[in-house]
């Protein structure tokens, strides 16, 4: 393979990985668990999403995603930024992504804003890039209560305590 072909293959891999991660975030926001699942390799893989949970496979993660996020009263926005993608071979890559996350729980009248970053590993499976490991780390958090008609900050800082940041609360019935 010529140097030009190698460079082109690298750029194509980076773009494919960007499209993969964009599809993942778009599918999360649009409550499409089947598409979310398709972004991951099959079998065992480490998924560490902090308070949302740690999982050993994508099916278990998608089940929790479906329970916590796939409700009409949960309005989410995942905004990815600053990707740093490293191609290790034609079949392996890794990357980090900044994430600005904004969620409105219309039933509980609460807003959650998170900043953080993903650390991902990718494998090329049958010509398609998939997430083979992922970890999300929170770097900033803000929780607001909107129940009184004005935003009241309940927490602002790096990472909220479990009694404030409990993702299972958004799935609970009122």
Quick: pLDDT tens for 16-38. Answer: 999 999 999 999 999 999 999 99
Predicted confidence at residue 174, as pLDDT, reads: 64
Predicted confidence at residue 8, as pLDDT, reads: 95
Structural domains present in the chain: 3-171 (3.10.450.50)
Per residue in 66-106, pLDDT tens?
999 999 999 999 999 999 999 999 999 999 999 999 999 99
DSSP E strand boundaries for the chain:
44-48, 54-57, 74-87, 92-105, 110-125, 128-145, 152-157
d(CA 68, CA 64): 6
33: number of Cβ within 10 Å:
17
Report how far apart, in Å, the C-alpha atoms of 139 and of each of 40, 120, 136 are: 24, 17, 10
pTM: 0.94
φ, ψ of residue 173 to 5 degrees: the values are: -75, 150
Residue 172: is its pLDDT beyond 80? no
Per residue in 114-141, pLDDT tens?
999 999 999 999 999 999 999 999 999 9
Report how far apart, in Å, the C-alpha atoms of 156 and of each of 28, 56, 98, 113 are: 25, 31, 19, 9
Determine contact, residues 170/68, Cβ cutoff 8 Å: yes
């Amino acid at each position: 393979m010529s140097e030009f072909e190698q460079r082109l293959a690298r750029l194509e891999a980076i773009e494919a990985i960007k499209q993969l991660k964009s599809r993942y975030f778009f599918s999360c926001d649009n409550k499409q668990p089947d598409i979310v699942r398709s972004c991951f390799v099959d079998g065992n893989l480490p998924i560490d999403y902090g308070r949302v949970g740690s999982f050993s496979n994508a099916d278990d993660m998608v089940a929790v995603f479906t329970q916590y996020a796939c409700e009409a009263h949960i309005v989410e926005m995942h905004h990815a930024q600053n990707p740093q993608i490293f191609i290790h071979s034609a079949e392996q890559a890794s990357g980090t992504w900044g994430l600005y996350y904004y969620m409105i729980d219309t039933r509980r009248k609460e807003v959650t804003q998170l900043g953080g970053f993903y650390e991902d590993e990718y494998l090329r499976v049958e010509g398609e890039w998939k997430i083979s490991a992922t970890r999300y780390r929170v770097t900033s958090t803000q929780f607001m209560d909107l129940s009184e008609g004005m935003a009241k900050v309940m927490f602002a800082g790096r990472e909220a305590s479990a009694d404030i940041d409990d993702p299972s609360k958004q799935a609970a019935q009122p």
